Amino acid sequence: MTFTVRITERAAREICDATAWWARERSTDEAERWYQGIRGAIAGLATLPRRCPLIADQEGLNYETREFHYGSGSTPTHRVIFAIVGEQVVVLAVRHFARRPFDSEDLPG
């Protein structure tokens, strides 16, 4: 089965913010590689999204919420948090590991 992948506005904004950070702190080339890489990894959720583990912080969530880790190079820096809803994979957040845990307040309204 192939799923439709949808990125929420919040997750899209977080991707843009992280890309801007890469461009500002590293280089525009690295920012572009990071952006293309994470977008490709997210697109890959269309097949077998359940291969990714459930997030540890499930308490209070009404969705089966999963994640995968992404980073530039061999060290992951970001969590891509998503839910499988019917035939859709909904990307809820893309957050740096240094941020607080994901919880029900982070869900779209």
CATH, range 4-106: 3.30.2310.20
Q: What is the pLDDT of residue 103?
A: 56
In tens digits, the chain (109 residues) has pLDDT values of 899 999 999 999 999 999 999 999 999 999 999 999 999 999 999 999 999 999 887 777 777 889 999 987 788 889 999 999 999 999 999 988 776 566 555 555 5
Give the model's pLDDT for residue 102.
60
Query: Domain residue spans in the chain?
Result: 4-106
- Burial letters 56-71, b for 16+ CB under 10 A, else e: ebeeebeeebbbbebe
In this prediction, residue 12 carries a pLDDT of 97
> What is the pLDDT at residue 26?
92
